[in-house]
Chains A and B, each alone.
Chain A
Amino acid sequence: MTRITRRLAALAVAASALLPALLLAPGALAGDRFITVASTTSTEQSGLFGHILPQFTRESGIGVRVVAQGTGQALETARRGDADVVLVHDRASEEAFVAGGFAEARRDVMYNDFVIVGPAADPAGIGGMADAAAALQRIAAARAPFASRGDDSGTHKAEQRLWTAAGVDARAASGTWYRETGSGMGPTLNTAGAMGAYALADRGTWLSFRNRQGLAVLVEGDRRLFNQYGVMVVSSARHPHVKAELGRRFADWLVSPAGQAAIASFRINGEQLFFPNAVRVTAR
């Protein structure tokens, strides 16, 4: 009897080992028509993709797999040919990407804005200010804690541009009142809330963020807080295996009336997060 038990045990082990392998076999996953889109964590965390992608897949039959990383990492992923399309919000980096020959062109898709959030107590007294750079000046002067993403993301680069406009060298104060978390928008907001610190956040992440811990929007509306998103299709000249055709269809859809309407219809608590602003191209 023990020999039979042994045989059965061996069979059970073998089966449980083989079964997952079979399930993971390529082609066992539904739908081979898909593209990989490298985008940012802030866009993912806002919930936008969960809203607009099902519509695209329904209309085109093309699945979209979003790999959400920091802007720098997303561009690197695309540069290495590991993604077919890249959607980020750092125009300077995007133009460098095109200049480097990794994509043929960049196109505007949508914008949202950044807001400066901070503790309700507002020790630097910036609540309601219209000038974002001046607000940062006050934060620096008061040496009030500020949580920066510190990860070369689009948001981080926008933040750095504001410090420059304010004439403050925040990096020099790193480790004191200026704290670089080196992480995504959500984790940085978690940290800011816990520390009672100010932070620059994109409105999309902020609206869908569920752990505010007493943080509130203190400064908004400055034109310098405008945050533009651009889409690029990775060049198949550089990476022949890239799904350029399918990727182009996605990029085209994003800037098409259907895609733009889908973006505009995404709301949280009735509030619109992203504002479509693709340029209508009449001739190609």
Chain B
Amino acid sequence: MRGDAPILPLRLEDLAFAEGGRTLLEGIRLTLRGGPPTLVLGPNGAGKSLLLRLCAGLLAPTSGAVRWTGPGAAMARPPRHLIVFQRPVMLRRSAAGNIAHALAVAGVDGAERQRRAEAALDRFGLSPLAARPARALSGGEQQRLALARAWALGPQVVFLDEPTASLDPAAARAVEEAVAALAADGIKAVMTTHDLAQARRLAGDVAFLHRGRLLEHGPAHAFFDAPRTAEAAAFLRGELYW
């Protein structure tokens, strides 16, 4: 649970990833610490999703390392960090059932599962939908359910890959509020987005990627008000496309 020994800071040491002869990420040196959300920004093809997957352990880097350096890093179960995708995977069960299943995989037993699933649904305003088939929910509801599911597992870090990209503005705001709720509960959110306004609202610090390289990393207000690199400035003006 969140009260356990922390796994952060997360250090990326000279991280690189290549596939099919093409270098997609190169020389990434980054330290992520606990606190408000870190937004990973950059134009298309910058390598944002790739970076998130590497951090979440779904891919192995070609060279360099992803190192959790906190005292609790050695423990593998239950998962201390989770990832939520742009289109969440929903199992063919009810909304509550999806959360319960994730808890079961994490080794939580019967009665406790029920309690935590209900708490998660409640926290994210999904209680009325508890018995509905998860796949029948709207895009925004499914995304909030994915966040509720992640929250229920009690991780320290949640990676979010463009969580609102395929949602209408109203749903997007609802999901954004859910992310803010995660952060309010002390979970470190590391998120990618195309929506600069959203980034401004959520970010504690910003990591800016361009063509596989990390160009900037720093406090949000510093990035948005006075970007150090020309690319970042162009990006903020909306002039950097890839």
Contacts and interface: CB of A to CB of B under 8 A. Distances in A.
Q: Do chains A and B touch in the complex (CB under 8 A)?
A: yes
Interface of A: 1-3
B93 interface: yes
B79 to A, nearest CB: 24
B94 interface: yes
6 contacts: A1-B131, A2-B93, A2-B94, A2-B97, A2-B131, A3-B97
A266 B94 CA distance: 68
Contacts of B131: 1-2
Contacts of B97: 2-3
Contacts of B93: 2
Nearest to A3: B97
A104 to B, nearest CB: 68
B93 to A, nearest CB: 7
A238 to B, nearest CB: 60
Interface in B89-111: 93-94, 97
A1 B94 CA distance: 10
Contacts of A1: 131
A59 B131 CA distance: 67
A1 B93 CA distance: 12
A92 B131 CA distance: 77
Contacts of A2: 93-94, 97, 131
A7 to B, nearest CB: 12
A2 B94 CA distance: 8
Nearest to B93: A2
In order of increasing CB-CB distance, the 6 nearest A-B pairs are A2-B94, A2-B97, A1-B131, A2-B131, A2-B93, A3-B97
A1 B97 CA distance: 11
A2 B93 CA distance: 9
A3 to B, nearest CB: 8
